[in-house]
Amino acid sequence: MKTYINISNVIRKKNPRLYKMLPKFVLSYLKKIIHEDDLNADLRILENLTTRQKFRTFLKHRNFKVEVHGTSNIPKQGRFIFTSNHPLGGLDGIVFYDTVVELFSQTKFLVNDILMNIPGVEDCFLPINKHGANSREYIKKIDAACLSDEQILMFPAGVVSRKINGVVQDLPWIKTCVTFAKKYKRDIIPVYISGKNSNFFYNLANLRKRMGIHVNIEMFFLVNELYKYENRSISITFGKPISYKTFDNAKNPKEWAAYLREQTYLLAENENER
């Protein structure tokens, strides 16, 4: 049977030094916790489908139930940056892309370049190297997409939500969403996605932080968190466009990014009123 995902090869390629340090039993555990066998089985089912079909078929195959709200807020014409909170780290991205691409067939997603190891979906991703300098090739791809008529998706937090003071929420948003909106003259459409990971995930993240460990070890459990969501519901809510002209000198880009984050969580409050 064809193997698409091999965690040992991914770590060896991404961080050779870390790979040499890891004992074999750790690699075996990682293989289990990322559901390497499940992923490969699913990818074999999706092998001959288009990118759009892959996402929708995966959601149906694993019985993820998706509720969509607020699409009437989205203009039928325009070049937008869709910005969303990042509660889950896997399923939310799939739902985000699948929902928007149904409305706009030409859509690209800014993602961690480690996701380029997933075969057959590379054409919808714009990779970003989060642990080093971005290559000239990455920068050119992002620039070309932002200059085009394609829609752009991003998680401005850059990492999955954490539990802060007992509340699951994004870390501060980076300013890229604002600088891109101004540079490429794209209005921003705020998006709120429901959901949360297990207490184990948040406790591990907090423990890792207290111990002063800088390697984001909890990320290895995100696929496990995804599969835990089988047969459960997730909702996605779209707000009204925010003009790129809004982002004037009254605030700096970082402050405007914080404003966008606030607007996103207001969508959550509106959702709870339904």
**Region of residue 198 (phi > 0: left; psi between -120 and 50: alpha; otherwise: beta):** beta
Q: Are residues 43 and 163 in the same domain?
A: no
Above 90 in pLDDT, residue 238? Answer: yes
The pTM for the full model equals 0.90
Tell me: the pLDDT tens digits for 221-231? 999 999 999 99
Does 54 map to a domain?
no
* Residue 274 pLDDT class (50, 70, 90 cuts): very low
- Considering the domain architecture, whether residues 79 and 13 belong to the same structural domain is answered as no
What is the residue range of 15's domain?
Answer: 1-48
DSSP secondary structure string for all residues of 178-232: HHHHHHTT-EEEEEEE-----HHHHHHHHHHHHTT--S-GGGGGHHHHHHHTTT-
- 152, part of any domain: yes
Based on the fold, state whether residues 74 and 38 are members of the same structural domain: no
Report residue 232: phi and psi, to 5°. Answer: -115, 170
Number of domains the chain is built from: 2
